Amino acid sequence: MSAPKTPPPKRLKVFVGDFLEKNSEVPSEASCNDAHISVPGNLKSMKELKLDDDNEQKSQSDTIIDIDDGSQETIGEELTVTSNDRKNMSGKRPNSPLDYDRHSAYASAASKSPKRFYSSGGRAVVKCTPFLSQIISRTIAGSDSEVTPTGGTCSTRLAENDSFNDSNNVHKVRTGKTPPSQRRIYRLPVNLNQTPGEIPSDMTRFPQDAVWRTGAMEDSPNHTILVKGPFDASGDTPCKAAPSILVDRWDNHHVKMPYSLFSKYTDSDGTVVPRWDIVQRALVETMHSFDDLREAILSYNGGYSWDLNELENVIEEMSSQERADFFNTILPGIVRLALNLPTICTRPPPLLAQGHTHSVTMSQQQAASLLANAFLCTFPRRNTSKPGSQYDTYPTINFHTLFNSCNKPGRQDCRKEKIKCLLNYFKRVTSEMPTGNLTFTRMRFRCRIGWADSTTKFKKAFVTSEGFIEDQGQGMLMVDFANRRVGGGVLCDGCVQEEILFVIYPELIISRLFVEALDDDEALLMTGPERFNEYTDYSDNFRWRGNVFDFRDRDHWGRKYTQLVAIDALKHQGRKQQHEQFKIEKIMRELVKSLCGFQTPGFPRSAVATGNWGCGAFGGDARLKFLVQWMAASRAGRPLVYFTFGDHELMCQLRSMQKLVTQQDITIATD
């Protein structure tokens, strides 16, 4: 982001009046609906918003935010001055402690979690104006000050050696220490009296996106197509597998398929036989109980003693009719899908390895057959991903990790609900097989990105606290807040945004079979998955809530007009790491990662539907991640729709940032 080229100022200012609607009034007392927002100050153009000379003409009654030139790394904080502050200040001895009261919603939160903030100058500045609700650039050094809660406000007591000057209505408190490695946080006024509103109609959605206007369904050096085209939109059968004869490969560039003759197993009599023979012999037997199912799975996974207790618990909690349906209909259907893999998928999918851009297109039937084998744990060499194992850089795929006992309190229900989602998927596809196709594309961003001198302006953005990416973001490029191993903990204890996406769109799970862990300049684009499940809530409270029938149209390749992109954010767990996310190299990494995901082929491009990417357990700052994704989407020529998932205050904060950027008409340049 950058402003028009100007000589670098020594000190910059931003007038709060610039952020307020014209003719708006600032109340004499800050109401409980007022708040302030922290804006990361690492990008130079955010500091070059207003020059001192431009602000000379402003009335003294304007409330201002001081913005340093960034020559030193700082963190700043603003306080709201109450009507009693002047009275509290008067009559104090020059060297006596001073109390500043913070009030409003921000003060209440601050009093619950006292924090110290620092700046390069080691001073606190109070600019007294007719506004009794003001923003103060507070720069009190470390151990020389302390914050103590006092009832509904938070009082800051300054050290005895602090100085106080009452001349010219400017009060400065000087202290001696300055932590060298922290950065200033700028604060903007935030109006909390806002409504979420409707997503604007000009936010581009599919199928306007030209990415769908693709050529013939034919193999190419960068695209492996496992089916024969063209897709028959009027037909009721899936595309046939390509080639028509079985191709058996056992190498480091393709998935090692369960039916491969190179996969050997020692039988009970000591003879070495193809493992697929053992699998077929175990699964063709009729299974009437969970014990029969577990015995069958363990028979071709020697050396393991999986209990599969969570799957057992789900089956035991079924009604008698549901249990009968499972053993008489659903499970036999899963077995048929698995054993028919040699005719459904006649060649192994290529591994989408790090450092390469490549696509794989398969039918929904092929995905279902591969997932059926994952359900029955038949994939060879994929029962562990421990360091040093053959697939230690790939996610797990066999479902035993989901079915086994959960040792984390509160996560048993989460696992069971995810299993219900998957059983519902198999119930659907075994009764009526979908006929479409889907594509997985590993994308690597190879060219150098000229962020420093970019002239790209910020595209449109809309922030809302209502709705969800997978619902209100339909027809947009939906962002999967991914783990670098795609799917994250979907096949174990995870149950946040990515894992939920992978169980309501179960076909996404098959990407774990062939997608290696993502590198810093890579993303995974998933095109055409069908949604099967409805859900409520999140994490430990996640619950399956029945079927979803996805009636979205298909393109001429048979893919649903649904597109998700998996991008993995950096982890910033712990207080020290949370500060590090504001370092320029960390920000640049996130910019490259986001742009890699958003820079898909074709124009015009749909809007990006995203939210608090890399926040929550990853420790990211939502305000910073909003700016990063907005910059990347703008560079990719896409508008942005940002969902805060019910966080009204965050919505208002981000809208304040958006308003500032829009008013200043700045670019996305970082210098």
Residues 6+ apart with CB under 8 A from 34: 27, 80, 104, 105, 106, 133, 189, 190, 191, 192
Q: Which of 18, 101, 209, 480 is catalytic?
A: 480
Rounded Cα–Cα distance for residues 249 and 270 (Å): 26
Q: How long a stretch of residues is the chain?
A: 671
Tell me whether residue 499 is one of the annotated catalytic residues.
Answer: yes
Catalytic residue from among 162, 417, 499, 522: 499
Residue that has been written with the tokens 């982890």 in this structure: 571
Q: Three-state secondary structure along 462-476?
A: EEECCCCHHHHCCCC
Distance, in Å, from the CA atom of 636 to the CA atom of 631, rounded to the nearest integer, reads 9
Alpha carbon separation from 103 to 27, 31, 79, 135, 167 (Å, rounded): 14, 9, 8, 12, 26
Burial group, residue 9, by CB count within 10 angstroms (0-12, 13-18, 19+)? middle
What are the respective helix, strand and coil percentages of the chain, to the nearest 5?
30, 20, 50
Task: Give the three-class secondary structure for 417.
Answer: helix
**Do 61 and 24 touch, CB atoms closer than 8 A?**
no
Per the DSSP assignment, residues forming a β-bridge with 358 are 442
Active-site choice (162, 498, 555, 621) = 498
How buried is 444 (Cβ within 10 angstroms: 0-12 exposed, 13-18 middle, 19+ buried)?
middle
Residue 577 marked as a ligand binder: no
Q: Are 589 and 624 in contact (CB under 8 A)?
A: no
| Residue 483: closest CA among 379, 579, 567 | 567
Would the annotation count 483 as a binding residue?
A: yes
CA distances from 331 to 48, 239, 328, 430 (A): 64, 24, 7, 9
In sign, the C-alpha dihedral spanning 466, 471, 473, 477 is positive
> For tokens 């899963």, what's the residue?
334
C-alpha to C-alpha distance for 168 and 599, rounded to whole angstroms: 53
Largest interatomic CA distance in the chain: 97
Q: Which residue in 187, 202, 120, 106 sits closest to 154, CA to CA?
A: 106
Active site residue 310: no
474 known ligand binder: no
Measured from the Cβ of residue 326, the count of other Cβ atoms closer than 10 Å reads 20
Q: Is the peptide bond before 243 cis (omega within 30 degrees of 0)?
A: yes
Question: Contact 616/496 with Cβ under 8 angstroms?
Answer: yes
Among 572, 527, 524, 211, CA closest to 362: 527
Q: Which residues are catalytic?
A: 480, 498-499
Q: Which residues are annotated as a binding site for substrate?
A: 483, 497, 538
